[in-house]
Amino acid sequence: MTTGAPLYMQVEQALAARISDELRPGDRLPTEGELIAEFGVSRITVRRAVQELAARGLVVTRRGQGTFVTAPRLRQPLTALTGFVEDMEAQGLQSRARVLRVEEVSAPPEARAALDLPLGSSVTLIQRVRLAAGQPVSFDVTYLPVHLGSLVAQDDLENEQIFTLLETRHRTPLIEADYALTASTADAAVAAALEVPEGSAVFRIERTSFTTGQLPVDYEVLHYRGDAITFTTRLPRSGAASERKP
């Protein structure tokens, strides 16, 4: 407690770091008395710090029970082609990946169609759980053409995002992507990956990313926890742009 920031802010920052590094959704924070003793501050300071954490959506206080860590609630604008790490960094959250599977497989029909591959083609399959603030948020299944996937498979997929690897290491710029979002429920595999009950609400996203010349190079099926994310966008009214012109 030695920085020039207000005391409540120092306590808030310390607790936010603890939530990110050590605690899980549903864990209870120490009581007011325990926090007062730990940080050597007043009750008013502790209450202000907890209020700020609640305003950020990191905790919820239940009367008579205490203050509990919430699942991270993220807001992701659908305005540009970005990767998970970029999205989390924009919200000040640390992120990483847990790699479950990397192997060459026969292309399933949906991946073959999305990547415009001939019948009988193989693809590189990559399955990862994406974590934000230490909590599983997304279960990602990625299919890459083998000429790219065999390269990406050798990279550090726990700490580097595939978009960045393609663009900076494997000379494959990403220009745009097609998205399809569907409300769905978690089957056994998705539920286990996201650590939620089977049947929980999820957002299912199919994304095909294209490089120069409209060549598809990355097909993904993403499952986001329904309680962890809100997708946002802004859409113009048809004809509104012309009406604004003088």
- DSSP one-letter string for 82-139: --HHHHHHHTT--EEEEEEEEEEEEPPHHHHHHTTPPTT-EEEEEEEEEEETTEEEEE
Task: Give percent of the chain with pLDDT exceeding 70.
Answer: 93
pLDDT reported for residue 70: 79
The answer to whether 218 touches 123, Cβ cutoff 8 Å, is no
For residues 22 and 44, membership in a common domain is answered with yes
What does the pLDDT average to over 16-22?
A: 86
Higher pLDDT, 234 or 91: 234
Q: Per-residue pLDDT for 160 more than 70?
A: yes
**Mean of pLDDT values over 125-143:** 90
26 and 61, same domain (yes or no): yes
243 pLDDT exceeds 60? no
Question: Do 16 and 109 lie in a common domain?
Answer: no
Mean pLDDT, range 220-233, rounded to an integer: 87
Question: pTM of the prediction?
Answer: 0.69
Last residue of a domain, one of 41, 69, 97: 69
The answer as to whether 241 is a domain residue is no
* Range of the structural domain that residue 19 is part of: 7-69
**242 inside domain:** no
- 115 & 179 share domain: yes
52-107 residue pLDDT tens: 998 887 888 888 889 988 766 677 777 778 777 777 777 776 678 899 999 999 99
Same domain, 224 and 151: yes
Domain boundary among 27, 43, 69: 69
Domain for residue 180, yes or no? yes
94, 185: one domain: yes
**Mean pLDDT for the chain?**
88
Query: Which of the listed residues 69, 91, 118 is the one where a domain comes to its end?
Result: 69
Residue 137, CA distances (Å) to 8, 74, 125, 197, 232 in order: 29, 9, 20, 14, 17
